[in-house]
Structure formats: C-alpha cells, structure tokens
A and B are shown apart, each in its own frame.
Chain A
C-alpha cells in the first residue's frame, strides 16, 4: 500500500503511522455532555468501504494527513494535508 504525502509524494505506507478515524470530532471545550465525549473517544462507524482516517508521515516530514481509503480493497482515493498549513499545500 502506498500513500501520497502532500510534501514528499508517494511513499510506502511503512513510513507512516496510523492515527485512526478522522471523522471523530472532539466536542467543544464548553460541551459538558458525557455522551458526546464518550462518543468522540470510543464510538466508531468502522465502515466496510470508504474510510477517512488520519496518518502521520513519521519517517518523513512528520506532517498529518487525511487519507480516504477503501477498507475492503486497500485502494487509496485521496491524501489531503491537514492542520495549520493545509490551505497553502492544496
């Protein structure tokens, strides 16, 4: 499996560290609902098909990116930069 790092280009996925489901959104700081925080930490949709997930290019530029990947075929649809510099990389 290969992922295309926004900085470094296509690289073997061994250079990257998987950081999990990218759709889990941290509730706002003033949100005191236990259910919302529980859902953020523990509940996952775990789809068979397209999955948006975070990867970090740990053995390269160390940037985070959101990968859209098919969990049944391992086909990578897109790799988008994420974080403060994401807009400049697009």
Chain B
C-alpha cells in the first residue's frame, strides 16, 4: 500500500480498518541469493539498494532482535558530510544526495531536516582550522560557510557568546545543508521499501554460526524461536556494527583492525524551540540538537576503553553535561529524561570498511566508529554495489580491510592506530 494524503483520507473514511503492517513477518526459506546479517540501518539499506538498483530481490536480512533495536534506534541522528579527506568527502556527499530524496525514494517520511550543522571555534587558531576545512569542503563540492561571532550569535540566540564564557566563542563553521533525520523512520522506511520489493526480513533470528563449503562461506546457522536452522546463500554479507568482533569470530576471523567501545547519548526534558541547528562545542567534544518533540539530544566522546556493555560510566556524563552548560548556561536547571549506551566498532583509522571478504563468499561492512547514522544511505548503496558486482564502487574502493597493511589508512583526525581516540 502506497502512503499518501489520498490513502489517509480513503482509510479514514473506511474507519482505518484496511491498513496493513509496514513489512511482512515471513518464514525463512532454505536458500537465498544474498544473506545480510544485521537488520540495522546499514543492513536494511543494503537490502533496499540490492533490490531496487541491482534487481537482486531474493535476499534475507537476519536480525537477532526487533528492527530498530540496535544503533539505528539509539543514535543522535546527525547527518553531515564535513570531511577533509577525499575518500570521505566523496562518500558522505553521496550520502547527502541520497538523504535529500530519501523520503520520496522510500515513500516513507524520514523527516530529514537540513537545519545546518554548526561547529564552534573558541580560539583564533581553531578559526584558521575551520577556514581550512571549509575550503577543503568547498573544493569537494560540499557547502560550507565560515561565520564570525556575531553571525553565530544571530543563528543561535541561546548560546553564550560573551567574553566571560568559559571558552569564549570566536566563530564557527556551518554546513548549511546538513542536519537531522528521524532514526526510527529510517529503519522502518528502508525495511518497508525492501520488503515491498520481495526482501525477507527475519526478526528475532540470531546468527549462531556460519556454514562453510571448504574455505567458502555458504550461509549461516541461526536460532529462531529456540530452534536451530540453516539458511544457505551464495553471498553472505555482515553489517553488525559494534558486534563485528563477535560475529566475525564465528566465521573464524579472530582479529580485525577494530575495537568495540561504548558511546553514551542523552535526552533532556522537552522545552520550547531554542537550538535551530546541530551545534558542536569546539573546546571539548559535544554535539547537541533539539528534537521535534523539544528534547535536547546530545552526546560526546566514547568511554575510552574496550566495552561491549551497552552502558557507560559516569565521567562521560559529567564531561558532556558540563560542556553543554558551558555553551548554554540556561540549560543548567534542565533535567535529563534518558541516557543510554550503544557499542561502536571503532576502526584503527576512524574510517569504515565496505569491502569483499575477508573470506570467500563473504562481504564486510564495519568500522563505523560513532558516525554510522549519516552514512546509512551511502553505506547500503555502496555495499549493495560491492555485493552485486564482487567489486567495490569508486566511492568505497578506499574503504578496504587491507588499507592498513598497504599504508593507506584514511585517518581524518591524524590520531594513529588508537581506535579509542577516533
């Protein structure tokens, strides 16, 4: 059923009895052309582009929980492409292009809101760095504007731009066409659109092992309703974010250039509209935006050590809330509604992996650090291309597993092989 204003009217007149669930709950078949392990944003978008762009519809997406129960449903929803290195700019700008048309492409409102992402600068040196980054973005065809302090103050009236602020604001770099989208709607929209093209989405089905024909991966063993079963496929793709280490060990890949850490995020009680853009603090690490319901959605650094815990420790709370209040003193009395932690697959250079391998018959999409949400459309688009053609697209050809050994890491921060600092 196509969603439209007409459909709402027609169904309203019939007492809303004819709506159907957004996706089916199919029973698994024994064989598929492609299995995608992980029904998060990246897995679902991969399934959608496999079906819509490459005509491969005999696809299963295998998700151990319910759809949207992983990182796609627990991030801070920021969409941007303000990168400096060529492989990243090209890839994330492709994502921006897909985001702009996503609601139409999926026939599902993902509430993409290009409200702007503003990175503050607190020293003259930081303004220089922002100018450099802004110029690099423009050279790659990405929009950017360098703002002085008065322009920042006009854009963001709640911000403390006085000289007595803990870290006085000198200006900022704005990517005007970046912004937010509704994370749950992205998962649901991709799921519904992929399902309508024939993709089977198998929820509450956990991969517990991989099937092998000699060296070649030939499918997966799953637990479903407490029963083990085998599902075979010529191509098995893995897109499981923070669980990459766990899942790849089942396939016999014991070591990867990835470490898993926890990232916490926070939501405050609802208030009247006050922050018009996504705003980031430049004297620490904090990003904040305001949801359509009025809550402030914010987060900062990962907890700096390996963790699969999906819950963090208190020092990050203290740091992040302290930074928020340094920027917006008016928020000091605001109460937090919720906080949570998700596990991140931090790669050795802070950039992702979208590649064939590491075993024959297998494809890997991982290393999203804590910026996977904005990449959801381009990640699926490139991964689908890689799966369909057994070869990377131009936009993801640099995101290989071998780049570390070859001496071609894509280290946006220049932090070196310390995953917890990216």
Contacts and interface: CB of A to CB of B under 8 A. Distances in A.
Interface in A56-90: 69, 71-74
Interface in B240-259: 245-246, 254-259
A41 interface: yes
A53 B417 CA distance: 15
A34 B420 contact: no
Contact of A20 (B246, B258, B260, B420): B420
Contacts of A53: 305-306
A1 interface: yes
Contacts of A39: 255
A44 B255 CA distance: 5
A11 interface: no
Contact count band on B: 20 to 34
B331 interface: no
Interface in A14-33: 14, 17-18, 20-21
Contact count band on A: 20 to 34
B305 to A, nearest CB: 4
A35 B402 CA distance: 11
Contact of A48 (B245, B255, B404, B405): B245
Given A46-B306, A48-B245, A71 B405 contact: no
A12 B305 CA distance: 14
A41 B407 CA distance: 12
B309 A72 contact: yes
B309 A74 contact: yes
B348 interface: yes
Nearest to B316: A14
Given A42-B257, A48-B245, A74 B304 contact: no
A39 to B, nearest CB: 7
B308 interface: yes
Contact of B256 (A14, A18, A20, A43): A43
B315 interface: yes
B308 A42 contact: no
A46 B258 contact: yes
A9 interface: no
Given A18-B420, A71-B308, A45 B255 contact: yes
B258 A44 contact: yes
B313 interface: yes
Contacts of B246: 48
Contacts of A43: 255-257
A34 B402 CA distance: 13
A38 B417 CA distance: 11
Interface of B: 245-246, 254-260, 304-309, 313, 315, 348, 404-405, 417-420
Given A20-B259, A45-B255, A73-B309, 14 more contacts: A1-B313, A13-B305, A13-B313, A14-B315, A17-B304, A18-B304, A42-B257, A43-B255, A44-B257, A46-B255, A46-B306, A72-B308, A72-B309, A74-B309
15 contacts: A1-B313, A17-B304, A18-B304, A41-B417, A42-B404, A44-B257, A45-B254, A46-B245, A46-B256, A47-B245, A53-B305, A71-B309, A72-B308, A74-B307, A74-B309
